[in-house]
Structure formats: C-alpha cells, structure tokens
Chain A
Amino acid sequence: MTERILHTGNDTVARAAISAGCKHYFAYPITPQSEIAHYMARELPKIGGCFLQSEGEYAAAYMLLGAALSGERVMTSTSSPGLALMQEPLSMMVTAEIPAVVVETQRLGPGTGTGGQQGQTDYRFVTRGVYGGLHYPVLAPYSVSEIFEFVQLAFHIADKYRILTMVLTDFVLGRMTEYLELKTFDFGPLPEKDWALKGKAHKGGRSNFLFTVTGMMLDITGFFQGQQEKSKRIIDSETRWETYKTEDADFLIVSYGYSARMSKGAVNTARAQGIKAGLFRPITLWPFPREALQQEALKAGKVLVVEDSPGELVEDVELAVQGRVPVHFLGIQARHIARAEGLILPERILQEVRELL
C-alpha cells in the first residue's frame, strides 16, 4: 500500500519536483506560493541540490535558464506579477529549447492584485505562449494528487520535447490540504541531453553553443517550421482533458482548476435532482482540447463556462464550438461575497444551470 500523507498543494509542488529528480530551484518570494520556496530551502540542501533565492523574478527565471544549461532538471515557481517579469527569460528558454518547469500559482487581479487571493484571471496570460510566437505546454491540476502527478509529468514533457512546461495552480489549490498518495510514475523513455553545456571535454572536445539570437539564424522560416512541427507533436500526443457524466448529458459545464471542482459538485447535485448535466475539464490549457470539446458540446447542445474571472476560458470554448451551440458564462460576479476572499460555489453554479435549462 503506497504511503498516504496530508499535504498542502504548495508543499506538494516541491515534493513532486524532488520526486521527479529536480534538485535545483530558484525563486523570489511572492504570495500565495512562497511555501514552495520554504520547502525547497529545507529539503534541497539535504540532497546536494541548489536552492537560491534571487533578486527578483527576472533573475530567478534567468537563474533557472542558467542551471538548465547543465541538463539538470530545474524549477522555479511564482505568481502572476512575478510571471510577468519572467516573460523575457521564458521566451529565451523556449527559443533555445532549454527545458525547465515553471509553476504558476495565479492570484486574483491585475497589478499587485489583492496580495494573493483566489482567482483565475491568468488563463489568457499563460495560454498564449511567450512573445515571439512560440507556445509552451500548460497543465492545470485541480487537486493535490493531480499537482503531485502533473509536476512530475511536466518534467517529463519538458525533457521529451526540450520545451519549457508550466503547471498552473492558484490560491485555493496551493493552500488547501488533501490526502496525497505517494505513487511513483513512469512516463517512459527520454532522449539524451547531448545539447547540455558541461564543458567540451565532456563531449570529446566538441564544443556546443546555444543561443537565443534568432537573427543570426540563416533560415528563420526554417526555425519557425521546426517549432510548428514540435507544437504539432505535442498537440497530437500530450493534449489531455476529463469528461465527467457527459455520456448522456444535455447540459455541459466547461471549467478548469478549482472552479472545475466546484462544477463537479454542481453536476452531482443536478444529477440527484434529475438534471442530466456533465462536466468537460481541460487538463492541458495548451494544447487546448478543441476537437474533444466540440464533440461533447454538440452532443450536449448547451454549454456553460464557469471561471473565476471576467471571462477568458470562454473565448477558447467559443473558438472550439464555433457558434454551433449556445455558450453561456458564469464568472467572478457570481462569487458568494464581493470581497477578494469570495468563491464561486456549487449552489450558485447549480442555480445558473437551472435557469439555463
């Protein structure tokens, strides 16, 4: 029987990274996920790893890049304002195909936000890739156990495709405590990291050069061609989603992360009252499960998108459904209280479902 422990989401991020063989972590404090850094500061030195607190998120992400040059598994984590400061280094990493994992614990609102409260207002920000036209995979867990699995999966995807991979959590997921089964995962074989920079003696005297200056490439169209083919491979084999009670559903809720947990509660209550509701939950926000969502939406005939934001996921749902089925949205206005601590609760979702029947 695998060991079961009570664990917070944030601690699970750190534990999962270490389980995936990540020994090096660089970060800057930011609510609501500094606990990840506290965990790493305690644990990494014990396993000969490197914990380094940087002078800001810009530097944390470049430290991530620097350490990743060695071919080691490395991670950083931050929240919305910090992720904004990381955009240049992340684009550099995607360009030079330097793999690493970034965990974003999104927090409510633009600007400083509310100092780290609940919210899902970063969906658009993290799913459109980096500046310059390149995407990176985004995994969206909705439980402590999924955090444990997806962080390790993120390291696998990063190494398999040599691409930056993100795990998106939020205030609720990071701070909540759940039972965690310490399973081990085997995601399959991985290519050698012959691109790593460990000194040319390491490679029989042949030196390597990684660079981010696409201007120096002789064939920039070829570069983008290669990146598009890589995206296609990721889309074809790494797109993930969950359907819950959608087989006979005539009403489809679409939601991710903590809102999907709330929506699942609403589906169960609705079913108990004879309403045939179902849930479609995107797990990879990029690549977005477009075709699968379209089929489920057409089958159900009516869609309600639930997201704790002014409306971002709903745009991708409308793109997938292409107007062939009505798409409704329940967002931040539906919170149970107006203050930052508010949440979209299952009862409110159920009320919306009943009104839309």
Chain B
Amino acid sequence: MIEETAITKNLVCKTPAFRLLPLGFCAGCHYGIIFRLIDEVLEEMELKGITVCIGGGGCSAMGAMAMDVDAFGGPHGPGTAIASALKRVCPDNFIFAIQGDGEQGAIGLGSFVAAAVRGENITIITMNNACYGMTGGQLAPTTPLGMVTPTTPEGRDQEMAGFPFHGPELVAPLRGVAYAARGTVHTPANRQRSKKMVKTAFQKQLQRLGFAVVEFICACPTNWRLSPVDCARYIEEKMIPEFPLGEFKNVEKNEG
C-alpha cells in the first residue's frame, strides 16, 4: 500500500499590498526591488501603522507614492530637514526619508549633514544610481570617474567634477550618527544582506540612538545605457570598487 502523502501548496512570495501598481520605474530599475525590500522590513517590524515616508524629488517620489503607508513626496533635496522636524513633532511615529544621490550629496547635502550633526532620530535611505535618473542621467556627486553623462560628455574627470562622493563614510564619524552602511540588490545574496542593514537602521530609530543612513548602489538601465542584466556587471566592476559595501558605523545600545 503506497502511503498517501499530503501535498500542501504554500505561498512563498506574493505581490505586496502597494497603493499603486504598476510602479513608475523603468524596466530593470533597482528602485522597485529596494522599495519592496523596505516594505517587507516595515511589515516584519509591524511599523506600517505608524510610518510616514518622506519621498524625494526624483524617482523615489514614485516609490513613496506607491507604498501603502502615509507618505509625502515631491520636493527635491530637503528630505532630511522635513523628516527631522516631523520626527521631533511626532516622536512616536516612524519617520524615514528616501532620496537620490543628488539629493544627499548635492542640493540636500547641507540638510543631510546638519541632520546627522544634530543626531536626528530618523532613517535615511539613499539611492546611489550614479546619476540624476529622472532628469536624464546627468553627473551626480556619486558618478564614477570616467562615466559618460549628458553633463560629462567626455567622461567624469576631476578637473571639472572632482571625485565621487561617499555619504555614509562622510557622516559615520559624527557623534550624532548611530548607523551608516551601504548595500546593493544586484544579486539575491546582496539583497538579503541589504535587507538586514535596513532592519538594523530602522531599529536604531526605535531605540532612539540617533541618525541612520543606508545607501543602496542601484542600477539605472535607462541612463547607464545598459540592459538590466549588464547593469549588474557594471555594479560589480565599476560601482563596488568605488563604493565599498558594508557597515561604516553601528552604535550598539550600550555604547551610547
């Protein structure tokens, strides 16, 4: 007699409940992966009910608009200032801002560093796609040397455009900063590691330990003029050597 074996069908991975689908990002853009990853962490940490997401003024606004949490989107650059004030006024809410590399390292740099200096109890997620995606891929603070963009037609060189900017490393030494890390989602393994970074960063806010920033290196197929698959290789060969992955600061609870 062949033993009867019960077969059950489990749902391993479902489309998350977003407010707006399809997402507005280009095909193969890593923003979608990152927003889903953030959504998962918010779900697992049961934060969605108290979350207010401050979207940026570029592609990240579309993500903030799509996630099913209270969100504000639109202005380009001041996310850290907006998040700082909202968190101070509503300390029991979970406030995080999502911004691009231009918002963090150029127009919003003043607010980014000032919030870190003040040790604001907020979390910043920065999307480092080495260009201004929404406006056509212009030079960004994080554009690697040699990369061709509409505003560095001969490739970025230091005479005109200086050297690539590293946000997490810049603020890590500041005493107000509890966590600074950089991750990527160009492979499944990196995605899981980056998810842990986001979770750690969110925990710093809950433990009121101060400012936390997680930067994601992410692909921008449209402006890099590469297929989504080739973008993964570009990240390996060009981006990671310039922007090392890992944690630059991680203040434990007792370290104070």
- Proximity bits, B45-88, A CB within 8 Å = 1, else 0: 00011111011000001001100111111110010011111101
**Residue on B with the closest CB to A60?**
B81
**Which has the most chain A C-beta neighbours within 10 Å: B64, B65, B73, B94?**
B73
Q: Contact between B71 and A66 (Cβ–Cβ < 8 Å)?
A: no
Smallest distance from the beta carbon of B92 to chain A beta carbons, Å?
9
Q: Contact between B75 and A92 (Cβ–Cβ < 8 Å)?
A: yes
B155 interfacial contact with A, CB 8 Å: no
Q: Contact between B85 and A201 (Cβ–Cβ < 8 Å)?
A: no
B189 interfacial contact with A, CB 8 Å: no
- A-side interface mostly: mixed
Report if A216-B65 is in contact (Cβ < 8 Å); known contacts: A59-B111, A62-B75.
yes
Q: How far is the CA of A317 from the CA of B110 in the complex (A)?
A: 42
Q: Contact between B85 and A210 (Cβ–Cβ < 8 Å)?
A: no
One of A50-58, A162-170, A265-273 contacting the partner: A50-58
B89 interfacial contact with A, CB 8 Å: yes
Q: Contact between A66 and B49 (Cβ–Cβ < 8 Å)?
A: no
In the assembled complex, which residues on chain B have CB atoms less than 8 Å from the CB atom of A207?
19, 68-71
Q: What is the size, in residues, of chain B's interface with A at 8 Å between Cβ atoms?
A: 34
Q: Which of B52, B64, B78 contacts A69 (CB 8 A)?
A: B52
Q: How far is the CA of A90 from the CA of B144 in the complex (A)?
A: 35
Q: How far is the CA of A58 from the CA of B76 in the complex (A)?
A: 12
**Residue on A with the closest CB to B70?**
A197
A232 interfacial contact with B, CB 8 Å: no
Q: How far is the CA of A208 from the CA of B65 in the complex (A)?
A: 9
B138 interfacial contact with A, CB 8 Å: no
In the assembled complex, which residues on chain B have CB atoms less than 8 Å from the CB atom of A72?
89
Q: How far is the CA of A197 from the CA of B83 in the complex (A)?
A: 12
* A56-82 CB contacts (< 8 Å) to partner B: 56, 58-59, 62-67, 69-70, 72, 74
In the assembled complex, which residues on chain B have CB atoms less than 8 Å from the CB atom of A96?
72, 74
- Proximity bits, B7-41, A CB within 8 Å = 1, else 0: 00000000000010000000000000000000000
Q: Contact between B114 and A58 (Cβ–Cβ < 8 Å)?
A: no
Q: How far is the CA of A314 from the CA of B68 in the complex (A)?
A: 51
Smallest distance from the beta carbon of B86 to chain A beta carbons, Å?
4
* A171-208 CB contacts (< 8 Å) to partner B: 197-202, 205, 207-208
Q: Contact between A69 and B111 (Cβ–Cβ < 8 Å)?
A: no
In the assembled complex, which residues on chain B have CB atoms less than 8 Å from the CB atom of A199?
49-52, 69-70, 93-94
Q: How far is the CA of A209 from the CA of B70 in the complex (A)?
A: 6
B226 interfacial contact with A, CB 8 Å: no
B229 interfacial contact with A, CB 8 Å: no
Report if A92-B74 is in contact (Cβ < 8 Å); known contacts: A54-B81, A62-B82, A66-B81.
yes
Q: Contact between B85 and A26 (Cβ–Cβ < 8 Å)?
A: yes
Q: Contact between B52 and A212 (Cβ–Cβ < 8 Å)?
A: no
Q: Contact between B65 and A209 (Cβ–Cβ < 8 Å)?
A: yes
B170 interfacial contact with A, CB 8 Å: no
Report if A209-B52 is in contact (Cβ < 8 Å); known contacts: A67-B85, A92-B74.
no
B240 interfacial contact with A, CB 8 Å: no
Q: Contact between B85 and A66 (Cβ–Cβ < 8 Å)?
A: yes
A24 interfacial contact with B, CB 8 Å: yes
A109 interfacial contact with B, CB 8 Å: no
Q: How far is the CA of A55 from the CA of B93 in the complex (A)?
A: 24
In the assembled complex, which residues on chain A have CB atoms less than 8 Å from the CB atom of B82?
62-63, 65-66, 69
* B87-121 CB contacts (< 8 Å) to partner A: 88-90, 93-94, 110-111, 114
- Proximity bits, A34-58, B CB within 8 Å = 1, else 0: 0000000000000000101011101
**Which has the most chain B C-beta neighbours within 10 Å: A66, A88, A207, A209?**
A66
In the assembled complex, which residues on chain A have CB atoms less than 8 Å from the CB atom of B84?
52, 63, 66
* B183-201 CB contacts (< 8 Å) to partner A: none
Report if A201-B19 is in contact (Cβ < 8 Å); known contacts: A67-B88, A207-B69, A211-B61.
no
Smallest distance from the beta carbon of B166 to chain A beta carbons, Å?
21
In the assembled complex, which residues on chain A have CB atoms less than 8 Å from the CB atom of B90?
70, 198
In the assembled complex, which residues on chain B have CB atoms less than 8 Å from the CB atom of A211?
55, 61, 65, 72-74
Q: Which of B48, B72, B83, B110 contacts A210 (CB 8 A)?
A: B72
Q: Which of A69, A95, A200 contacts B68 (CB 8 A)?
A: A200
Q: Which of B50, B81, B86, B94 contacts A70 (CB 8 A)?
A: B86
Smallest distance from the beta carbon of A344 to chain B beta carbons, Å?
39
Smallest distance from the beta carbon of A37 to chain B beta carbons, Å?
15
**Residue on A with the closest CB to B47?**
A199
Q: How far is the CA of A26 from the CA of B115 in the complex (A)?
A: 14
A141 interfacial contact with B, CB 8 Å: no
Q: Contact between B61 and A198 (Cβ–Cβ < 8 Å)?
A: no
Q: How far is the CA of A95 from the CA of B83 in the complex (A)?
A: 19
8 A-B pairs closest in CB distance: A201-B49, A212-B74, A66-B82, A63-B85, A66-B85, A62-B78, A55-B114, A199-B50
Residues in B lying within 8 Å of A, measured CB to CB: 19, 48-52, 54-55, 61, 64-65, 68-75, 78, 81-86, 88-90, 93-94, 110-111, 114
Residues in A lying within 8 Å of B, measured CB to CB: 24, 26, 50, 52, 54-56, 58-59, 62-67, 69-70, 72, 74, 88-89, 92, 95-96, 197-202, 205, 207-213, 216
Could you list 23 examples of A-B contacts with CB < 8 Å?
Answer: A50-B88, A54-B114, A58-B110, A59-B111, A62-B82, A65-B82, A66-B81, A66-B83, A66-B86, A67-B85, A70-B86, A70-B90, A72-B89, A88-B75, A198-B90, A199-B49, A199-B93, A200-B48, A200-B49, A205-B49, A207-B71, A209-B64, A212-B74
New A-B contacts (10) at CB < 8 Å, excluding given A63-B81, A66-B85, A211-B55: A56-B110, A66-B81, A66-B83, A70-B86, A88-B75, A197-B70, A200-B68, A207-B71, A211-B74, A216-B65
